[in-house]
Structure 1
Amino acid sequence: MNFVEELTWRGMLHTIMPGTEEMLNKGMASGYIGFDPTADSLHVGHLTQIMTLIHFQRAGHKPFALVGGATGMVGDPSGKSQERNLLSEDVLQHNLEAVKAQLTRFLDFDSGMNSAEMVNNYDWFKSFTFLDFIRDVGKHITVNYMMAKDSVKKRLEGDTGMSFTEFTYQLVQGYDFYYLWKHHNCTIQMGGSDQWGNIVTGTELIRRKDAGEAFALTTQLIKKADGTKFGKTESGAVWLDPERTSPYQFYQFWLNTTDVDAKAYIRIFTLYDREVIEAWEAEHDAAPHTRVLQKALAKDITIRVHGEAEYEKAIKSSEFLFGNVGIEFLSELNDAEVLALFAGVPNFTISLTELHEGISITDLLAVKTTIFPSKGEAKKTIIGGGASINKVKIATADDVYNADALLNGKFIVAQKGKKNYFLIVAE
């Protein structure tokens, strides 16, 4: 497998330094991508770089995942309109451990010569004094060179300016490349296209400081076909941590991809080979309503991030809401999973004490909650057979419900028609 050709047909390659492909074709090379621990989980925006390392390793090369314990203390100005808040050492350490655990699920750390390795740049910066840094690193890169970078120019031209801390970020990242080149034989750094300036600073430092040769490659920044930011939903970022984004919500994010985006994403975010993908694309073009691309995309990524069992549960969750899976399925979920399943529908809270005493169905649907605008409207719909509790049609408008109706001792699922769900939580 040719690494550059693989990225190219998948639509991932953005910029490549001359000589890079020739260097990679000579044999096993070592290369790295950095991940700053600004949160205690990676999100789907990081998946492009994770996939880049996966392809790099599958092509027979040795991947290094750099977790930025030091650079996370500084903050990368690339693509940012203002300086971000600095994190404490305790928070950074917590984030580092979480990110490390996630990365180990994607890369093979026991494959022999090209086993993946994880490094933390805090290990080589913790004893590096400021005076040593400006003498041994700063003298090799001119201010003119640093100010010519787009990430710097945009900030200097803006209203907020740039602190010296962020201005020096490219030197810090450049030294990372130098250190890994010097001590781990890393000859290539990869990253998103917004990292090009920082990456080539590293190659320049290697050249000026030790007359060495290093290479660079960047991937496309992923956007939706409509130009909006990839990886964002109404509720925020889509995280890899199931505590932040449930496997069901994660699965739905990919399943709800547009047809145009699905054709791009299935190449970028899955490991299916070209023939399989092109066959699915032809099948999709012939019958778009089957959503074959979205289903294959969502399946592959959900299994690799959350595992087969969570994927199966996500399928059943979808069928519960949109198919024929019965109410008993909720007993397989914990409280957090139930709330995640109904995160996109109206939620209401009622008194557990009142429920023990019994609440008439019209009060439950129109007084204790606002599922219906009035008791009269609720009664009319019930008589017409259009309202259900726990997937069972309400028999009469005079029915009274008590705590026996609670699922998992806490929830009641109401429906108005077949598709309009409401979750009632008893507290």
Structure 2
Amino acid sequence: MTYHPKSDFMAVMMQRGYLADCTDYQALDEALSQGVVTAYIGYDATAQSLHVGHLLNIMMLRWFQKTGHKPITLMGGGTTKVGDPSFRADERPLLTPDQIDANIDGMKQVFAKYLDYGESGNGALMLNNAEWLDGLNYLEFLRDIGRHFSVNRMLSFESVKSRLDREQSLSFLEFNYMILQAYDFLELYRRYGCTLQMGGSDQWGNIVNGIDLTRRVLDEEIYGLTSPLLTTSDGRKMGKSQGGAIWLNSDMLSPYEFWQFWRNTTDADVGRFLKLYTEMPLDECDRLGALAGSEINDAKIVLANAVTTLCHGAEAAAAAEATAREVFEKGGVGDDLPTLELSAAELGDGISIVQLIVKSGLAKSGKEAKRLIAENGARIDDAPLTDAGMMLDAGALASPVKLSAGKKRHALVKLAD
């Protein structure tokens, strides 16, 4: 039997492909159809920016608000001090409180683009779990909260079990993470009436712990909903590219490079990504995703423009598309390309082409740059680059030089004024 959701939010989750699992579909759907529900997703502050891997859940919060409900973005100022061990082979490096605060400031910039933090009835809230975790009394916490957790059960969760099965060390610090996350859910219910936690499917065990804890301590029923862990059709983890993470903050990745990431989507993923990462109508997503031959490239530009508009604004999307057309169709040099500015000191008497390829981010190492040249994958001003020993001096850089790795990755190199 196919379940037909009553609530707009659950219908969006099911129709667009956001839903992996839910602790009680029907009870949650009933609650969503009867009034405003408050839900949260937690984000640990492990980097200065969120990346494309977070975007699926940010879109879930956006749809949650668009369908009339109240989203909470919970910043992990407290839990980041411990580090989530889920499905990791090693312990996360510990960050200082100042690093954590700086990371939270960077991450906040992204949320403001997707959610309305206004004063209205369903205005989003941004909270920090340091508010209640930092002041905990250890003995009281053990007595009041720790007694509700079975170590046997905690060891059975896949996120922990996989680490132990490989005989990799799991510190007592990390083992506490799932208790703290469960306690977050309890506190958010107490303080804000929050009855739903959402997250990626790797968070299922942590979410269920919070639901169990709230039932045991307060005898209240709350819910969990997870999204699928996305991989691209060729099996890669979503959000990773050859150059590293696809950041959502423009000071860590230019809007042009962000646009390019979506423009380079594999043909088979276009329809699915339009449903997940844009707000275009479903039938239009299906129509564009079904295009074949060169027409699918037009659909990829629609995808890149729509996602970039949400993240960086319509002007940035239009500028990125214009630059791409300039670079690819006319062989020109776009204004918006990632640019490496060399100082006179860096240039010295001359700089090798291999160093420039690495410095401009087109290769991670000299070895990779040399291989790119040897395999005829590098170009300079659109001409094949065959000499790995080539040196460039101030004369050669009198006007900007365009470097390319393959057909899709480009950078400009110029002298600083």
8 Å Cα contact 2:289-2:296 kept in structure 1: no
Q: Secondary structure of the residue that 2:73 maps to in structure 1?
A: strand
Quote how far apart the aligned CAs of 1:312 are.
2.2
8 Å Cα contact 1:3-1:56 kept in structure 2: yes
8 Å Cα contact 1:350-1:426 kept in structure 2: no
1:2-401 alignment to 2 at 5 Å? 2-18=8-24, 19-110=27-118, 112-282=120-290, 284-285=291-292, 287-324=293-330, 326-327=332-333, 329-330=334-335, 337-339=338-340, 351=347
Cα deviation digits, residues 289-336 of structure 1 (max 9, x gap): 442321111101111111122222212221232123755x54xx5xx8
CA separation in 1, counterparts of 2:322 and 2:220? Answer: 55
Q: Secondary structure of the residue that 2:40 maps to in structure 1?
A: strand
Q: Give the direction of change, closer, same or farther, for the CA distance of 1:352–1:425 in structure 2 (3 Å limit).
A: farther
Q: Which amino acid aligns with 2:340?
A: L
State the partner residue of 2:367. none
Q: Give the direction of change, closer, same or farther, for the CA distance of 1:38–1:424 in structure 2 (3 Å limit).
A: closer
Quote how far apart the aligned CAs of 1:145 are.
2.4
Q: Secondary structure of the residue that 2:59 maps to in structure 1?
A: helix
CA separation in 2, counterparts of 1:54 and 1:402? Answer: 50
8 Å Cα contact 1:37-1:72 kept in structure 2: yes
- The alignment's C-alpha RMSD in Å is 3.0
Quote how far apart the aligned CAs of 1:147 are.
1.7
Cα deviation digits, residues 104-134 of structure 1 (max 9, x gap): 1110112611110010000111211211211
Q: Which amino acid aligns with 1:209?
A: V
Q: After the TM superposition, which segments of 4 or more aligned residues of structure 1 sit over 4 Å from their partners?
A: 349-355, 387-391, 401-405, 418-427
Q: Secondary structure of the residue that 2:289 maps to in structure 1?
A: helix
Q: Give the direction of change, closer, same or farther, for the CA distance of 1:402–1:153 in structure 2 (3 Å limit).
A: closer
Quote how far apart the aligned CAs of 1:138 are.
0.5
8 Å Cα contact 1:350-1:424 kept in structure 2: no
Cα deviation digits, residues 47-105 of structure 1 (max 9, x gap): 01101101111111100000100111111111212211111111111001111222111
Q: Secondary structure of the residue that 2:72 maps to in structure 1?
A: strand
Q: Secondary structure of the residue that 1:248 maps to in structure 2?
A: helix
Cα deviation digits, residues 138-183 of structure 1 (max 9, x gap): 1122212222211111112122121111111111000000000011
8 Å Cα contact 1:352-1:426 kept in structure 2: no
**TM-score normalised by the chain length of structure 1:** 0.79
Q: Give the direction of change, closer, same or farther, for the CA distance of 1:420–1:2 in structure 2 (3 Å limit).
A: closer
Percent identical pairs in the alignment equals: 36
Of 391, 401, 412, which aligns to 1:412? Answer: 401
Structure 2 gaps of 5+ residues are 1-6, 352-369, 374-378, 384-392
Q: Which amino acid aligns with 2:138?
A: F
CA separation in 2, counterparts of 1:350 and 1:115? Answer: 50
Q: Which amino acid aligns with 1:4?
A: M
CA separation in 1, counterparts of 2:221 and 2:193? Answer: 11
Q: Which amino acid aligns with 1:211?
A: D
Q: Give the direction of change, closer, same or farther, for the CA distance of 1:280–1:110 in structure 2 (3 Å limit).
A: same
Quote how far apart the aligned CAs of 1:405 are.
6.8
Cα deviation digits, residues 195-221 of structure 1 (max 9, x gap): 000001000000001111101100011
CA separation in 2, counterparts of 1:244 and 1:406? Answer: 28
Deviates more, 1:191-200 or 1:111-120: 111-120
Structure 1 gaps of 5+ residues are 341-348, 356-369, 374-386, 392-400
Equivalenced residue count is 371
Q: Give the direction of change, closer, same or farther, for the CA distance of 1:402–1:211 in structure 2 (3 Å limit).
A: closer
Q: Give the direction of change, closer, same or farther, for the CA distance of 1:181–1:110 in structure 2 (3 Å limit).
A: same
8 Å Cα contact 1:352-1:403 kept in structure 2: no
CA separation in 2, counterparts of 1:320 and 1:207? Answer: 59
CA separation in 2, counterparts of 1:426 and 1:256? Answer: 30
